[in-house]
Chain A
Amino acid sequence: MRTRQLEGHRWQDQPEIPPDMTTSSAVGSEGVAISASSLSHSYQGPSGEVRVLEGVTFHVPKGGYAALVGASGAGKTTLLALIGGLERVQSGSLLVGGRDVAALEGDELAAFRRTTVGFIFQNFGLLEALTALENVELAAVLAGERSAARRDRALRLLAAVGMSHRAAHRPGALSGGERQRVAIARALVNRPHLVLADEPTGNLDADTSDEVIQLMESLQEHRGCTLLVVTHDQALARRASLRLALDRGGIVESSRSATGEPMP
C-alpha cells in the first residue's frame, strides 16, 4: 500500500476495486474516491425551501471516470459543489478520498479544495488579471509553494495541454477551447486525486468539445486521478465508465460498463 502525505491528512491509495463494486452495499470506504450516502440538500428560495437533493447515495471508485447527467435543475452542480467542498453538507454523509467532507471547516476545507480536488468550470473560471501561466500556477501559489518549482510544473502542464505558446497570454486573448485547456492544466497543478468538471464543454463548439474531452480523458488515464464530469451531453456521458443520472434530486440510474471501458 502506498501512502501519500497531504496537508494535515493522509490520502490512502488503495488497490483498484473490482469493476462491479459501484453501490454502497458492494464497497467499503477503501478504494472509493467518492462515497455519498443519503445526501440531501435544500436552499431557501423566495417562496420557501427548495429541495435540490434528496437521499442521494452513490460511490465512485478511485481512478474512475464518472459522468453525472440529468436535466437542468436536477441538482448536478449542487452535488458537484458538495463533493468539491464549495457547498456545506446539510444532511447525509459524504466521503471524498475517505475524508468526511462535512467535518471539514476553515483552513482544512481550503486545503482540501486546494490539494484533493481540481475544478474545471463551464465558463473556465480563469482570472482575467493573470496570464495563462499565472492562472495555472494559482493553486500552487495559494499552497505557498516555491516560485521556481511551481512555475516549472505549470509550464509542463501547459505543454501537456498544448498551450505552451500561449503561456503569456491573458484569458481575454484566448479562444474558448484554449481557455478550457488552461483551466484543465490549472485543475491538475496540485496533483489532485479527484477532478470535478462542471459542464466542461458547455461553452464550446462540437469540434473543440471533442478535443477537450479527449484531453481530459487522456490526462485522467495518464495521471490515474478520478474524474467526475457533470454534463447533460449524453454522448459525453457514454464515454464514462460510470454514469449517474440525477432526476428531481435523486439518483435514478447508476450504471457502468462491465469492463470499465466506455459504455456503448
Chain B
Amino acid sequence: MTWADAIRLAARSVLRRPARAALTIGAVALAAALFTAMLTMAETAQSRVLNQLAKGGPLAGIQVAAAASDPSQVGIDNPTQGPPKSLDPAALARIRRVPGVGGVFPIVTAQSLVIWPQHALATTGEGAGHGRSDNVDFDELVGVNLTHVTDLPVTVTAGRLPKPRSLTEVDVTSVFLARYGITRTHVKSAIGSVVQLGAPRGFLESDGSKVFRTQWTEAKIVGVVAQQVGSGGILASLPLAQASHDWTAAGDPSVDPDAPRSPYAGLFVIANGLDQVPSVRAAIATIGYSTSAPENLIASVQRYVHVVQIVLGGIGVIALAIASLGIANALLAAVRERRREIGILKAVGARDRDVLRSFLIEAGVMGAVGGLIGSILGLALAGLVAEIVDRYLASQGLAGVHVGFPYLLGIGAIGGSIVLALLAGTFPARRAARLPAREAVEL
C-alpha cells in the first residue's frame, strides 16, 4: 500500500466518526493553543521587559559618561561616576577600536531656556488651567544622530522623530509635558506646538559685569518620546543640539562655570552581544571613562523569564499529553469497533504493518490538524491579549508591545502534537495490527 493510499484510507476512517474526531482534534487544538499562546505571551513579555530595561535600545547597549571611571565600580550596572572628564572625538575613536564594540554614537547636550506657547498653556490637555501659570522653563536639549535611532534607547510614543538634520523640529518627553499640565493620556495634543529654545551664553562685559545673552531658535514639537540617552526633556537632531552646545560652551567660563564644555555629554556604545558587555565596559574604564549598562539586571531577568518559559512550556506539554490520551482513547475505541473491519482488511491482503500504519496515520492526522488549528488559535489569542495590553499601555502614554509571530513555535507546536499523537497512537495501532485475520469471519 502506498503512503498516499494509506493517508487516504486513514482520513476516511477519521471522518467516519466525525463527532468523535472533532472532539479529539478539538482537545489537541485547545492544548496546542494553550501551549502556543502561553509561550508567545511569555516571549512577548520577555521582549517587553528587556526592552524596558534597555530603554528601547539594544540589550547590549552601554552608556559612557563624560566622567572619569571609578575602578571600584567596574561591573556595577549603575556605578557612581568619578569627576567630569572631557569626552572628545579622540576618545570616541579609541572606544570605537575596543574589541567587541559594534557601534559608538555620540550624545551632545545643551542647556536651553524653553518658552512654551501661552495659548497652549490655556488649551492643551486635561490639565489645562491646572499647570503652571508662567511659560518659561529651563531644560536640556539632547542631540543624537537620528539616522541611527533604532540603535539608541529612544522610543517614540506619539508622533514621529525630528528629521535627522532638522534645526526646527524637536521631540519632547512626557515628563517635559507634565510640567505644563499635559498628562500621559493627552500627549498627542502637544504635537504641532511651537516652542522657543534659547541657548544661553555668559559674557564678561568691559565694565566687569556678567551678563547672559541667549540665541533663540523656534522649534516645532513633532513627537513625544521616551528617551534615556540623556537627562533632558527635549530630543533634537545632532546639528541643532551641537549648535546650541557650541554657543553656550564658547561663553566666558568665569561667568558660566557650569556650562558643559565637553564636546560630547556621553556616548552610547553597542557591544557585539550581551556576553561582550563586561569586557567592553572594562576596556572603556581602562581608557578612563565611567560606563553604565543594565547587564546584570538583564541577565537576571533573562534567567527568570527562562524559568517562566520552561514552566509555561511544561504546562502546555502536559496539556498536549492529556489531549494525546484522548487520541489513544479514541483509537482504542476505534480498534474495538473495527475488529471485523481490520480482519477484513487482513483477509483481503493487508499486512500487519499496513494496519499499524493506517492507525498511526489516523493518530498523526488528528495530531497535525489539532496542532495546526491550535497554533493558529494560540497566536490569535496571544495577539488578542497583546492588543488589550497595547490599548492599556497606550492609555498610559507608553509604547505598546509587539507580538511577533513565532513561526518556529507554531511549527514546534504542530510537530509536538504530531509526535505526541503518534506516541499515543502506538499502543492502539499495535493492538490493531496484531488482530488476527480470522476476525473477518464468525467462527
Binding site for B on A (CB under 8 A): 43, 77-78, 80-81, 84-87, 106-107, 110-111, 113-115, 119, 121-122, 125, 127-130, 138-139, 141-144, 186, 190, 198
CB <8 Å contact, A86 and B436: yes
Chain A residues in 8 Å Cβ range of B90 = none
**CA distance in complex: A162, B153 (Å):** 81
Identity of the chain B residue whose Cβ is nearest the Cβ of A112 in the assembled complex: B349
Q: A129-B13, A141-B5, A142-B1 are in contact. Are A113 and B348 (CB under 8 A)?
A: yes
**Chain A: minimal CB distance from B259 (Å):** 87
**Chain B: minimal CB distance from A43 (Å):** 8
Chain B residues in 8 Å Cβ range of A110 = 346, 349-352, 354
Residue from B1, B12, B343, B441 within 8 A of A198 (CB atoms): B441
Q: Which of B323-382 contact A (CB under 8 A)?
A: 340-341, 343-352, 354
**CA distance in complex: A195, B320 (Å):** 48
Chain A residues in 8 Å Cβ range of B16 = 128-129
In the complex, per-residue mask of B80-100: 1 if CB is within 8 Å of any chain A CB, else 0: 000000000000000000000
Q: Which of B391-440 contact A (CB under 8 A)?
A: 436-438, 440
CB <8 Å contact, B348 and A81: no
CB <8 Å contact, B348 and A114: yes
CB <8 Å contact, B341 and A86: no
CB <8 Å contact, B354 and A142: yes
A81, A141, A190, A198: most-surrounded residue (chain B CB, <10 A): A141
**CA distance in complex: A129, B334 (Å):** 13
Chain A residues in 8 Å Cβ range of B442 = 77, 122
Chain A residues in 8 Å Cβ range of B5 = 141
> B15 an interface residue at 8 Å Cβ cutoff?
yes
Number of interface residues of B (CB under 8 A): 28
Task: Given contact pairs A121-B440, A128-B341, enumerate 12 new A-B contacts (beta carbons under 8 Å).
Answer: A43-B443, A78-B443, A86-B343, A86-B346, A86-B441, A87-B437, A110-B346, A113-B437, A122-B442, A125-B340, A138-B348, A142-B354
18 contacts between A and B (CB under 8 A): A78-B443, A80-B441, A86-B347, A86-B436, A86-B438, A86-B440, A110-B351, A113-B348, A113-B349, A121-B347, A122-B442, A125-B344, A130-B9, A139-B348, A141-B9, A142-B1, A142-B349, A186-B348
CB <8 Å contact, A113 and B346: yes
Residue from A86, A111, A141, A143 within 8 A of B437 (CB atoms): A86
**CA distance in complex: A107, B347 (Å):** 12
**CA distance in complex: A190, B16 (Å):** 27
CB <8 Å contact, B348 and A119: yes
Chain A residues in 8 Å Cβ range of B2 = 141, 144
Identity of the chain A residue whose Cβ is nearest the Cβ of B2 in the assembled complex: A144
Identity of the chain A residue whose Cβ is nearest the Cβ of B17 in the assembled complex: A129
Q: A129-B16, A141-B1 are in contact. Are A77 and B443 (CB under 8 A)?
A: yes
**CA distance in complex: A130, B13 (Å):** 9
**CA distance in complex: A77, B343 (Å):** 15
The total number of A-B Cβ pairs within 8 Å is: 86
**Chain A: minimal CB distance from B19 (Å):** 15
**Chain A: minimal CB distance from B299 (Å):** 57
Chain A residues in 8 Å Cβ range of B345 = 127, 138, 142
CB <8 Å contact, A119 and B440: yes
Chain B residues in 8 Å Cβ range of A115 = 349
Identity of the chain B residue whose Cβ is nearest the Cβ of A128 in the assembled complex: B16
Chain B residues in 8 Å Cβ range of A138 = 345, 348
CB <8 Å contact, A121 and B354: no
**CA distance in complex: A239, B1 (Å):** 38
Residue from B15, B440, B443 within 8 A of A129 (CB atoms): B15
**CA distance in complex: A214, B5 (Å):** 34
CB <8 Å contact, A81 and B352: no
CB <8 Å contact, A142 and B440: no
Identity of the chain B residue whose Cβ is nearest the Cβ of A189 in the assembled complex: B348
**CA distance in complex: A106, B352 (Å):** 8
The 6 closest A-B pairs by CB, nearest first: A114-B349, A129-B12, A86-B437, A110-B351, A139-B348, A125-B344
**Chain B: minimal CB distance from A6 (Å):** 12
CB <8 Å contact, A119 and B12: no
Chain B residues in 8 Å Cβ range of A125 = 340, 344, 347, 440
**Chain B: minimal CB distance from A141 (Å):** 5
Q: Which of B203-239 contact A (CB under 8 A)?
A: none
CB <8 Å contact, A190 and B440: no
Q: A86-B441, A121-B440 are in contact. Are A130 and B349 (CB under 8 A)?
A: no
Chain A residues in 8 Å Cβ range of B354 = 110, 142
**Chain A: minimal CB distance from B358 (Å):** 10
CB <8 Å contact, A144 and B351: no
Q: A77-B443, A121-B440, A130-B12 are in contact. Are A143 and B349 (CB under 8 A)?
A: yes
Q: A80-B441, A190-B349 are in contact. Are A144 and B1 (CB under 8 A)?
A: yes
Residue from A81, A107, A129 within 8 A of B438 (CB atoms): A81
**Chain A: minimal CB distance from B43 (Å):** 42
**CA distance in complex: A171, B15 (Å):** 16
Chain B residues in 8 Å Cβ range of A114 = 348-349
**CA distance in complex: A129, B438 (Å):** 21
Chain A residues in 8 Å Cβ range of B15 = 129
